[in-house]
Amino acid sequence: MNFRKSNSLFLTFSKALYSLISDQTEENQNAPLNGWSIHPSSPCTGDVLDITGKTNPHEIIGMVVSFTLNVPVIDNRYSYIFKNIRIPSGSNSFLVRSQKVNDLDFIVRMFVDFKRSFDAEDGVAEFFEKNVPAGNYEIVIEGNALDNENEVKIDFVASQTIKADEEGNFYCKYDTSSLPDGDFIVKIGDRERRVTLML
């Protein structure tokens, strides 16, 4: 990953402060999982998913949501806006990977834009961050595509943790309003499911 430039000093400071004041307990990657479910099972874009499951009492379980977008190229540029992305409290991370590109700009829109830019290696550019301060964000992914490309592929992977109660039951809500329609993968512990969002 080639880091090129950044004017995100505020975000860096916010992340450092957040890591000091929030609970950053890491998940147990070997925690036993007795199953989990998603409701509704056939959601529409904008639905809030109820995710429930069972593990050991007070266990910390990791959850990963991932999906892929094919974004059109216009005048050799690509761009996609994620509106109202909710970053949960606690340990979290996200990765954005653009393929068939020269570079990737990762922009967080707040009262001013905060941007990080990365040059591609062999047509692939990516951005990774962890322990992002909780909140709702508008994020823009854009950059220059390789010559003669009509579309680029963008992979998005976000992780968070879920804590089980004293009986080992865990529960969380996941808002899909920032996700595009189509397929995405939800992985909890070592078990994953494909979910299709309908319009």
Kindly report, residue by residue over 50-101, the tens digit of the pLDDT. 999 999 999 999 999 999 999 999 999 999 999 888 888 778 898 999 999 9
For position 182, what pLDDT does the model report?
Answer: 93
Kindly report, residue by residue over 20-52, the tens digit of the pLDDT. 444 556 666 667 788 899 999 899 999 999 999
For position 10, what pLDDT does the model report?
Answer: 47
For position 25, what pLDDT does the model report?
Answer: 60
Our count of domains for the chain comes to 1
Q: Other CB atoms closer than 10 Å to residue 161's CB: what's the count? A: 21
Q: Name residues whose C-beta falls within 8 Å of residue 172's C-beta, 6 or more positions apart in sequence.
A: 51, 63, 162
Kindly report, residue by residue over 46-55, the tens digit of the pLDDT. 999 999 999 9
180 is in which domain, residue-wise?
Answer: 2-197
For position 5, what pLDDT does the model report?
Answer: 46
Stated pTM of the model: 0.83
